[in-house]
Structures are given as structure tokens and as C-alpha cells.
Amino acid sequence: MADPFGEKALDKKITLDGVPVLNGAGVVDSAVFETTQQIQRDDEKVALNRTRINRTLNVVVIGTGYVGLVTGAILADQGSNVTCVDRDPAKLEVINRGESPIYEPGLEEVIQSGLKTGHLKTSTSIPESVATADIVFIAVGTPPSADGTPDLTAVMQVVQEVGRSIKQHITLVTKSTVPVGTGNLIEETLVRMGVDPNLYDVVSCPEFLREGCAVADTKNPDRIIIGVNDPGAETKLLSLFSRNRCPILVINRTSAELVKYASNAFLAVKISFINGISRICEQSGANVDDIAAGMGLDHRISPKFLQAGLGWGGSCFPKDVQGLSKVGETMGFDFEMLKAAEKINTDQVLHFVGRIRAELGSFSGTRVAILGLAFKPNTDDIRDAKSLEIIKILKAEGAEIIVHDPVAMDNVKAIHPDLTYTKTGEETVHDADVTILVTEWAEYGRLNMDRVAQLMRGNLIFDGRRFFRPEEVKSAGLKYFTIGS
């Protein structure tokens, strides 16, 4: 019989004493994972002995950005000896003071505790750090190159330097999001460099944390994916993650590399889908939140990632959707669905700004207040943020732009020093013709709309995230516009 939910494929991978640990909906029952597990891989049972390596593992994490620093700090918190390596000594100085170079709730406390116990150290030297390492994570950036292909320059630089430093056996793990086949490329590079193949194995362990709740996500991930072609490496990684009480899926390395792209692209497509529905709602009078609620009650769909808005941005979705498209191309497959999702995403901002322009007549000489600059709340990350797309258009069309964000203003200032930066949401809307909500920070939800109406010289509120309560805005005498209505 056909297996429409793919349960057979999954229960072949994850079992407990040979019994599938799937609940009725085909979802892995994490309660069962509270106990020692077994993972069945390729018909060969591999016992998940969570204490197999009875000594503290020495872990090196290269790249102390959103992924590397959080991963390193949490692994140190869980008892490993961790050295976080970065080429930027200024970042490491901040970390050594017990501070975080990025805004990530809860991260400073974990850093401070790691420094105090001595489990967390920093270094600018790959050779010195690798000299005593059991496991080396690569967590440097993989930004898109001009044609959308992930740029592996930083990853391969690190591989070369690690390769030159290997003296004892290490497990080299890509945590950076890398295209299918990168593990093979790394192995080929190490072979070309003449490194003894008995001294390393190459593993993929993609990262799924969300910025803004990265600490909680790393402490309690939904799942850990280990992509190995070698059982020895598998044991080390399973030992390292033995404190985690989540499903651990051990698959081959290429599959692990692809899981990451597939997951991000799927979520991006889901958001674009509801944003497509929002456009139909605008014309038909249907309510997109009600549609999302109605869809989300279907367990196969779920309400997550069905919030209509200005679309997806950030450091991952745009580049990973493009990256997967490119992977498809190189394999002779045109993944048109991804291109359609990208188009909806690009159009969403243009359409929204078009509606604002239509209300104002023209942006020229208008005073526009922008609330929120980060690509989403609870982060200072502005990579591919919708605010930047909107600011670019407004600037080109002659608007005066007043902006606010609780934590991301310094990052935007570095690109647009000529905007007016304010200290509060209220200050931002002062004398504005139109107020645009771009990032749904909780503090904007506490704005008093009567006060906003008094402060603004115009009366237009454009809500890019369906965040404000329409009745509150309207009863203050303001005109309310949002995505999908």
C-alpha cells in the first residue's frame, strides 16, 4: 500500500527498541525520547548510548555569529570544553567581557556562565584551537553570490586552515548552511592537501535555530539532524548531544545538507502562499486571518507560518530559497515553485508601498514614520529586512524618513546615516503623514492610538504585519490599512 504520509520512511529511521515512536499523526513522540533511544539506520540498529564517550569533549566552533556563538555557548553550558574562534578579535573581546556582540535574548547569561566555569574560551587561532579538538564545527557565513549560489569562500578557507592544523583525529562538522555535496567537496580538499584520511571525518549537522529565540531553540531543539557517512563520527556527535531530549535523526551526509534547504524553502513557500491568499482577500473582502485560522485547524497544515505580512526576509530564507533553486538547476531540475514564492515575496512589498503611495498621492515631501527595522522582532539582524526595501523606495521618491527600532538602529545607521533615528515609537510618529509598522515588536503593541493620532499630522496607519487592533486605530480617528484588507 502507498505511504502517503511517509511514516514508513520515518519509522525506519527513528525507533525505540524496534518500536516506531510515532504518534497517530505521524509525528515523533518526544516523550518517548526521554529515555535511551535506538536509532535504526539502513536496517542496521545503532544503539544510542548517550554515555559512550566517558570524557569531556573538546569542541571548537569556528565563526561566532548568530549560529556559532549560540551553539558554542550552549555546548559549554552543557559541559563540553568549547573554544569559539573568530577572525574578528573585536567580537571576541566583547565575548570575553561577558557580553554578546549580537542581540539575542538570554545569550549574555549563558556566555557569562561559560566563562565562569571555564568551559567557554575564545581564540583567533584555528591551529591552536584545533590542536586539542575532538569536534570542530564550521559556523561561518555562506551568503549568496551574485547569481544566488551560496558563497563557500569562508567555509573553504576554514577547511584549508583546519586541514593544515590537523595533528590528531577530529570530526569536522558543517553547521553553516551548505549546498548538497559540500561535505564531499571538503573531503576532496583535505585529500588534495594530503591530510591523512584516518585523522578526520566530515559530518553535516545543519542548524535550525531561529534568531530571537536562538538560546531556547538550541537548548530545546525540535530535532537534531546528523549527516554521517561514518559510524565513528556518529558516536561522537551522539555523545555530544546526549543532553538533548529531542529526536535525533541520523542520515547520510548529503541528505542532511538537503534537509536544511528543504525545511527553510518549505516555510518560505508557506508564507508566500498565505501572502498570495492575502492579495485575493484584498479584492474579495475575505479576512486572511480567518482563512489562516480555518486552514490551520487542519493538523496536516498547522497554523504556523500562515501569518500574512510583508513577507520573509532575514539571513536565511531568501538565500536558502535561492540556494535550493540553484541546487535544482545544477541537477537539471527547474524548481519553479520556489521562483513563484520569491516573486510573491518581492511583489508583496512593492504592492504595499504602492497602496501607501496611492493614499498619499506621492511620497515627495511627505514625512514617513517607520516602526521596526529588524527583519523580525527580538533580533538586531537586518539582513534582507523589509525595512531596507521600503526605505530604498521612499528615499528614491523624496520622502523624509523617521525610524525606530528597539535594537537594530545602529545596524541601519551604518547603511543609511541620513535618516532620522528616534528613541521611542511615539517620537517617531510625531508630525508624520503616515506611520508604517514594519516589524511587530511587542512595544509597538502598547502604543496608545489616541496619543498617536494627536502626535501625527496625517492620519494614515499602514500595518505591514496585521499587528495593530483595527478598531483601536479607527476609533482614534486614524485610517487603517493592512496586508490582506
Ligand X SMILES: NC(=O)c1ccc[n+]([C@@H]2O[C@H](COP(=O)([O-])OP(=O)(O)OC[C@H]3O[C@@H](n4cnc5c(N)ncnc54)[C@H](O)[C@@H]3O)[C@@H](O)[C@H]2O)c1
Contacts of 35 (CB under 8 A, 6+ apart): 16
Q: Which stretch binds ligand X (CB under 6 A): 36-44, 87-95, 429-437, 440-448?
A: 87-95
Catalytic residue flag (residue 246): no
Q: Tell me phi and psi for residue 430, to 5 degrees.
A: -55, 125
Site string for ligand X, 138-167 (x = CB under 6 A): -xxxx-----------x--xx---------
Cα distances from 237 to residues 73, 122, 464, in angstroms, run 17, 22, 42
- Look up residue 236 and give its amino acid: K
- Which lies closer to ligand X via its Cβ, residue 149 or residue 315? 315
- Listed in order, strand segments (DSSP E) in 389-478 are 400-404, 420-421, 434-437, 460-463
Work out how close the CB of 389 gets to ligand X at its nearest, in angstroms, rounded to a whole number.
19
Which of residues 134, 187, 207, 384 is near ligand X by CB under 6 A? 207
Nearest to 284 by CA among 76, 43, 485, 64: 485
Segment 50 to 79, residues that bind ligand X, using CB under 6 A: 62-68
Closest by Cα among 256, 258, 278 to 266: 258
Cβ-proximal residue to ligand X, closest one: 65
Instruction: Convert 299-335 to b/e letters by CB count within 10 Å (16 or more is b).
Output: eeeeeebbbbbbbbbbbbbbbbbbbbbbbbeeeeeeb
Nearer residue to ligand X within complex by CB, 22 or 215: 215
State the nearest-atom distance from the C-beta of 316 to ligand X, in Å: 5
Distance in Å, CB of 349 to ligand X, minimum: 21
Q: How far is the CB of 178 from ligand X (least distance, A)?
A: 7
Cell numbers found for residue 248: 535525533
Please identify, using beta-carbon distances, which residue of 140 and 371 lies nearer to ligand X.
140
Is 104 or 433 the residue whose CB approaches ligand X more closely?
A: 104
What pairs with residue 20 in β-bridges? 15
Residues 166-205: x/- map of binding to ligand X (CB under 6 A)? Answer: ----------xx----------------------------
Provide, rounded to whole angstroms, the least separation between the CB of residue 215 and ligand X.
12
Pairing assessment for the beta strands 19-20 and 14-16 based on DSSP bridges: antiparallel
Pinpoint the alpha helices (H) of 14-65.
none
Closer residue to ligand X, CB minimum distance, 114 or 141: 141
**Cβ–Cβ under 8 Å, residues 199 and 170:** yes
Considering CB under 6 A, how many residues would be counted as binding ligand X? 26
Which one of 105-113, 134-142, 298-306, 390-398 is the stretch in contact with ligand X (CB under 6 A)? 134-142
Query: Per-residue x/- mask for ligand X, residues 303 to 332, rule CB under 6 A?
Result: ------------xx----------------
Q: From the candidates 84, 205, 281, 316, give the one annotated as an active-site residue.
A: 316
Q: Which of 10, 73, 86, 309 binds ligand X (CB under 6 A)?
A: 86
Residues 6+ apart with CB under 8 A from 229: 183, 201, 202, 252, 253
Mark 419-448 with x for binding to ligand X (rule: CB under 6 A) and - for no binding: ------------------------------
All three cell numbers of 434, joined, read 503616515
According to the binding rule CB under 6 A, does residue 88 interact with ligand X? yes
Instruction: Look at residue 196 and give its three-state secondary structure.
Output: coil
Least Å from the CB of residue 63 to ligand X: 3
Question: How many Å apart are CA 82 and CA 377, to the nearest integer?
Answer: 29
CB of 62 to ligand X, least distance (A): 5
**Other beta carbons less than 10 A from residue 362's beta carbon:** 11
Which residues are catalytic, by number? 316
Binding site for ligand X (CB under 6 A): 62-68, 85-88, 91, 139-142, 154, 157-158, 176-177, 207, 209, 211, 315-316
